[in-house]
Structure 1
Amino acid sequence: MPETSLPLLPANRAQGAIPILPVTLKSWPGIERSLDKAARTWLKASGFVGQPGRHALVPDKAGNLHQVFYGIAETAKPGEAFDFARLVRVLPDAAYRIDGELPDLRGAVMGWLLETYRFERYRKPSTPAPRLVCPSELDRAALLTAAEAHFMVRDLVNTPSADMGPDELEKAARQVASRHRAKLRVIAGEKLRRDFPMVHTVGQASPRRPRLIDFTWGPARAPKVTLVGKGVCFDTGGLDIKPASGMLTMKKDMGGAANVLGLAQMIMAARLKLRLRVLIPAVENSIAGNAFRPGDVLTSRKGIRVEIGNTDAEGRLVLGDALALADEESPDLLIDMATLTGAARVALGPDLPPFYTDDEGLAADLARHAMAVNDPIWRMPFWAPYYALIESNIAELNNAGESGFAGSVTAALFLKRFVERARSYVHFDIFAWTPAAKPGRPKGGEAQAIHALFGAIAERYGK
């Protein structure tokens, strides 16, 4: 495989790498007794006894770093697979290898890779991250592909909206498409107004023209997998304007589009046996004299008329038109990803995105793969009685409703009205952001659910 700047060395580079030895509170006394007197004295002075999450650096007689001990728990807990990545921030620049057993070896290595991410577009580069030798039993190429897609998502989300508007999002999509020789088209202007009226209406108040990005890859007769990503490059809330605090992270409102591009890159790099289609409505929800208003009624591509209860519920409008287009060709699997509701964060917090599907088999597959790759997700219901919460007195749907209850569920139900022909449909209400740094997850833009999705898609459609 081609060389990469990511700090994961081939397995044949293990010789000379500094060993990292995982230990537990239970195993440590025996390991400590096997060390020479100088090492035991050094470690006793440091206070290291194998505590989970703690590390100890041991020098050789010349004072050079000789080995690293790292404490792990006796029993691994869900969500802790990336804890090994704590070492990235404390070890000096050198090559390291894992010398011992870890409960989740892949998770430890992936966490290491993800912890080395730096967003340095607007600052001087930091010191190089320590390098890790890939254990021979892991697929280094697959790990690098997954990490590269993850980093791309983070870069797109972290970029300020001044440098990541609809034009730049289109450019990013073109780069992903051209890398894998996918066919891309962009619908804008009068054709967008006519064929995708809700996309056009949401974006019409911005000087940066709205558009629908559409690319396809793979043989036409293969199973059809379609990805739809919310590409709201900045969201003021429109005339129902957000408070200043609500706009601070609104550069991430295109996080659904970023994650869809990351997932698409993984699918195409793996050359899965499917026909992939990616749809991204790219807009800014801005304020001007021609901005859409509360109380307006929009006619969607599907013909469903939508009363605007709140201009800050714009994501479901642009997704509705894109989903209608996707649904017209009856895909085998239709997936949308969107930074859609604050209600999802209230219910499940920033780290656990909900997903909605009526496909029981797919739901089980996603949950299984999410656990396997430490990509947490949680299933929520398409609870049909809640359609009553988004009824309109003058149209067929209200984009927000008046009750304030079940905001993530009603948003999911709104989207589901635009999907009839797809054999299987799943909606992800992601956050695309890490508000406080954790091992393997630095503060800032984040990829969510794409590794779980890739695992399920690869298993379902094969390589």
Structure 2
Amino acid sequence: MSQINGFTSETRNALPLHVMTREQYAGWRAQQSDALGAWLDAQRFNGSGGSVVLLPGEHGLAGAIVGVGDPGDVYSYAHAPFALPEGTVWTLADALAPEIETLLQLGWGLGSYRFARYRKPNRAPAQLAATPSAEVRDVIAASLRVRDWVNTPTEDMGPQQLEDAARELATAHGAQIEVITGDALLEQNFPSIHAVGRASHRAPRLIVLRWGNPGQPHVALVGKGVCFDTGGLDIKPGDGMRNMKKDMGGAAHALGLAGLIMAQQLPVQLTLLIPAVENAIGPDAFRPGEVIATRKGLSIEIDNTDAEGRVILADALTYASEQQPEIVLDFATLTGAARIALGPDLPALFSNDDTLAQQWLQAGESVRDPVWRMPLWRPYLRYLHSNIADLANAGSRMAGSVTAALYLERFIAEGQTWAHLDVYAWNDGERPGRPAGGEALALRSAWAMLKTRYA
């Protein structure tokens, strides 16, 4: 997994770094010498967001200015590590408010990331002479883990490797772990997880991690762990299958958040559930029209084998509800419909509890890591009607993200507080601090929300 880059405790050769908005720059510029002003004007620098200018000195480089757009957004600072020259070390030239310095450090840590498992990056990031707090480092580390797990191709990130990642977290934080694998899923009544994963040469499994004191509020996290999704017998076209290594993005988010909760010793009892499978094509693949049993006792008619994530989540959510936690949060790269509705950056939030939903929305606004609440419009359950089973796993193309969430809700116990996040877990293109590939979306806001509830 990626190390946190971009920070150093060595200040001996550090250069002064000015961090300012366009408005702050205008006042700073007026106080500079004519020579420096001419230099800045010649480069048409005005302090706008996402900009950097180097300052000259007698013996070469004497400092730099980083232009900031929205000071409350961590990504306003994330361009700096690769916009500043490689090998340089920087120290803040001006005192920043503590909350702004924290955002700078978060943005610097996220902006210094490059996925390097298979190819060495073209260059190293510039270094910030700073010692981030334990929480800042843990938030960065959790975000980078999510990116790494999602970026890793399926041959190196299958069900076994997801289990290995969970075991590594359990060992690091003194958690207990149990894994139910292969036909043992049938023996222990997790038939829907088994049905989806049975065609793969790599056995399906349910990963269960437990941590914390039973006397604390109980939080259950559930993550969709489809390590590769061919679409099954309803096979995806090539362009739709290309990035399906990322279909375990929900599991990556749940694992990353669990690691953050444990590292920060949040006073909760934690249960983490990851149903981990490959949706493969083979002689034993589940078929359209089959009726599959579930742990809850509801029968599912398979309308489409490419709607497999909700099938494995059915058993995991049922099991989570059986533990009677205070809240259940599930994360899943579940529907293209959510992306069409809200785009890649805005995860769709569904919840049966207004207080929980509002806390997450407010946390998202506070830390600039937003979610958008979508309706559990129960009349649309008609789109999941089956003539031979309790419900179908898919149906109409109408309101696809809503019907998927309604399907999941059928496996939540009555009275159980629950939220579901339909997350893309991916950057389609390059932006400062957000390289193309795997991304942690709403992880920081989920953490902020949990801190509000429990810390």
Same fold at TM > 0.5: yes
Q: Deviations over 1:112-150 (max 9, x none)?
A: 210111111111244321112348xxx621111100111
- Show the counterpart of 1:8: 7
- Range 144-153 or range 89-98, more displaced: 89-98
Q: Distance in 2 between matches of 1:115 and 1:449?
A: 17
- Show the counterpart of 2:227: 233
- Show the counterpart of 1:425: 418
What is the RMSD of the two structures over their aligned residues, measured on CA atoms?
2.0
8 Å contact kept, 1:327–1:422: no
After TM superposition, the score normalised by the length of structure 1 is 0.92
Shift of 1:309: 0.4
Q: Deviations over 1:153-201 (max 9, x none)?
A: 1111100011111111111111111111111111123320231111001
- Show the counterpart of 2:380: 386
- Show the counterpart of 1:133: 129
Matched, 1:217 2:211: yes
Aligned partner of residue 78 in structure 2, secondary structure: helix
Matched, 1:162 2:155: yes
Q: Deviations over 1:72-109 (max 9, x none)?
A: 35xx388x541221122220122223334589443332
8 Å contact kept, 1:193–1:201: no
Shift of 1:366: 0.8
Gaps spanning 5+ residues in structure 1: where?
none
Q: 1:72 to 1:5 in 2, by over 3 A?
A: closer
Aligned partner of residue 40 in structure 1, secondary structure: helix
Residue 353 of structure 2 is aligned with which of 348, 351, 359? Answer: 359
8 Å contact kept, 2:8–2:130: yes
- Show the counterpart of 1:395: 389
Matched, 1:175 2:174: no
8 Å contact kept, 1:107–1:373: no
Aligned partner of residue 366 in structure 1, secondary structure: helix
Aligned partner of residue 77 in structure 2, secondary structure: helix
Matched, 1:17 2:14: yes
Q: 1:106 to 1:372 in 2, by over 3 A?
A: farther
Q: Distance in 1 between matches of 2:335 and 2:272?
A: 22
Residue 44 of structure 1 is aligned with which of 41, 59, 83? Answer: 41
Shift of 1:32: 2.8
The within-5 A match list for 1:401-416 is 401=395, 403-416=396-409
Residue 116 of structure 2 is aligned with which of 111, 116, 120? Answer: 120
Matched, 1:152 2:148: no
- Percent identity between matched residues is 46
Q: Deviations over 1:188-218 (max 9, x none)?
A: 2332023111100101111111111111001
Q: Deviations over 1:272-303 (max 9, x none)?
A: 11110111111000111111111000110110
Matched, 1:442 2:449: no
Residue 306 of structure 1 is aligned with which of 297, 300, 308? Answer: 300
Q: 1:302 to 1:21 in 2, by over 3 A?
A: same
Gaps spanning 5+ residues in structure 2: where?
none
Shift of 1:24: 4.5
The within-5 A match list for 1:25-104 is 25-63=22-60, 65-73=61-69, 76=70, 80-92=73-85, 93-100=87-94, 101=96, 104=100
Aligned partner of residue 79 in structure 2, secondary structure: helix
8 Å contact kept, 2:360–2:445: yes
The one-letter code sitting in structure 2 at the alignment partner of 1:113 is: G
How many residues get paired?
449
Q: Distance in 1 between matches of 2:264 and 2:74?
A: 24
Q: Distance in 2 between matches of 1:421 and 1:175?
A: 34
The one-letter code sitting in structure 2 at the alignment partner of 1:289 is: P
